Structure 1
Amino acid sequence: MSAFFEVTRELDSQIALELKFNDSCPPHFHSNLELLYVINGEIDININGQVQTLKKGGVSIANSYDIHAYTNPLDARTFVLIIPTALVRSYTAMLRSKVFMTPFIAESQQTKLIYSILQHLHKTKGAESELFSKGCAYSILGVLLDCSTLI
């Protein structure tokens, strides 16, 4: 899969949460972590050549420099969370020599918890401190690690 380096993402120094509708993007990569949560509908996600159609409640995680793309959205409403690796150094240090067995998680109690955190972060956008955003990011990453297998 041919991909481009998303230079603009390298300028992000703070956590960003975006609500997207029928979003698609070509294969790209950057140093930041990128989490996608499907609020409703479905979307095809390709991360490092692993492809899956995520449905409502599903989550994907593209770690630093993973090549990822979103295609074929079908009434897809999603949250996309961008986390600069400089803000979550203990997470990136832990994954230094490991990867997720799969970057996809189907709807579960854990993904519902992630959605709850994302909703709160979205509702309080700009009203809370950077520390609050960082705490939310660490909470989400902790949930991901609890429900995923590292290899």
Structure 2
Amino acid sequence: MVPSMHELYRDSGRYPVYWEFDGPQCLPHFHNSLEFTLTLEGCTEAMFCGKSVLLQPGDLFLVSGLTAHGYKRGNRSHVIMLIVPMEFIPLYAPMFSRKVFASVKTSKKSVTDEVLHCLRRLLAIEQCDESSENLVRSYIYVILGLLIREVGLVDASDEKALSQSVLLYLQNNCLSKITLEDLSRRFGYSKYRFSRTFNQSVGCSLTQYVGALRARHAANLLREADLPLIEICMNSGFDSLRTFYRSFKNTFGITPTQYRKRVEKAVSDSLNPPKSHT
């Protein structure tokens, strides 16, 4: 699975995923998994709860579950990313349900060197599955134990809890009509204050965020259903093809048509693998 495609499976995957790749980019989003990004070369500009975080070589970016984050386009960097579902770490899941990392990044060399060693070991396993589950979990427990000791955990703030409530509501209702008026009334804000607070805490506008959620739903339909694009557009909560195409490209970097062709090619390649020549 390529990094951008994890957007589709981030809340349903059972196993951790990890990659080494160039130029991470992703609109602000959130998921229940823990996420770690170690910058090896260049600079990565990340977003965390609406604020920009510059990551230089040797910096480790720490994202606690259900926290808005993303990566700005144009990053010229080489990174390793690790995403860990809570289901995979039962010893730590209760703790992370009420606490977050005390800092969003660490540059302490003794810490990042040890994390890099574990990440390299994970990459050598290629992918986590039933046969490698225990080995992968052991390296992740080492990483978590080290970060909890060196970075520390703090109680999640009330502000974060409110942000989570809003994002969870949007995730569960993104296919329905969503207006600023309805949301501000539901969460007890004026329209102006809700819009301002959302932009500050998430890092993008309400319209952009809802568009990304709908694009994610549309991508699932493109993979799983043989429907015309206009039907996928309407079934994903969009009111026009123009808005659908714009939101989809902003989210995945390609158009729905290009995405469908890539999916079709991937399926064809899996059914007709190249013959080896001896």
TM-score by length of 2: 0.49
Partners of 1:74 and 1:137 lie apart in 2 by 26
Partners of 1:80 and 1:14 lie apart in 2 by 14
> Is 1:132 paired with 2:135?
yes
Partner secondary structure for residue 142 of structure 1: helix
> Is 1:146 paired with 2:149?
yes
> Is 1:101 paired with 2:126?
no
Partners of 2:51 and 2:30 lie apart in 1 by 15
- Give the drift of 1:76: 0.5
Paired residue type of 2:105: F
> Which has the higher relative contact order, 1 or 2, with Cα contacts under 8 A spaced 6 or more apart?
1
Partners of 1:100 and 1:61 lie apart in 2 by 7
Q: How does 1:60-79 map to 2 (within 5 A)?
A: 60-79=61-80
Relative to structure 1, the CA distance from residue 23 to residue 96 in structure 2 (aligned partners, 3 Å threshold; closer, same or farther) is closer
- Give the drift of 1:66: 0.9
- Give the drift of 1:107: 4.3
1:35-90 deviations in whole A, cap 9, x for unaligned?
Answer: 11111111011122343201111111111111111125543111110101011122
Q: How does 1:1-151 map to 2 (within 5 A)?
A: 6-126=7-127, 129-151=132-154
- Give the drift of 1:123: 1.6
125-134 or 23-32, which moves further after superposition? 125-134
Relative to structure 1, the CA distance from residue 25 to residue 74 in structure 2 (aligned partners, 3 Å threshold; closer, same or farther) is closer
- Give the drift of 1:98: 2.3
Partners of 1:114 and 1:50 lie apart in 2 by 25
Q: Let me know the Cα RMSD of the aligned residues.
A: 1.9
Paired residue type of 1:150: L
Higher-Rg member (1/2): 2
The structure carrying a bigger helix percent of its residues is 2
Q: Do the aligned residues in 1 keep the contact of 2:25 with 2:75 (CA within 8 Å)?
A: no
1:93-129 deviations in whole A, cap 9, x for unaligned?
Answer: 1233322222111141111100011011102224961
Which of structure 1's runs of 4+ aligned residues deviate more than 6 A?
none
Relative to structure 1, the CA distance from residue 104 to residue 73 in structure 2 (aligned partners, 3 Å threshold; closer, same or farther) is farther
> What is the number of residues matched between the two proteins?
146
- Quote the residue 1:3 is aligned against: none
116-125 or 45-54, which moves further after superposition? 45-54
Partner secondary structure for residue 41 of structure 1: strand
| Structure 2 gap ranges (5+) | 1-6, 155-278
Paired residue type of 1:68: H
Partners of 2:89 and 2:29 lie apart in 1 by 21
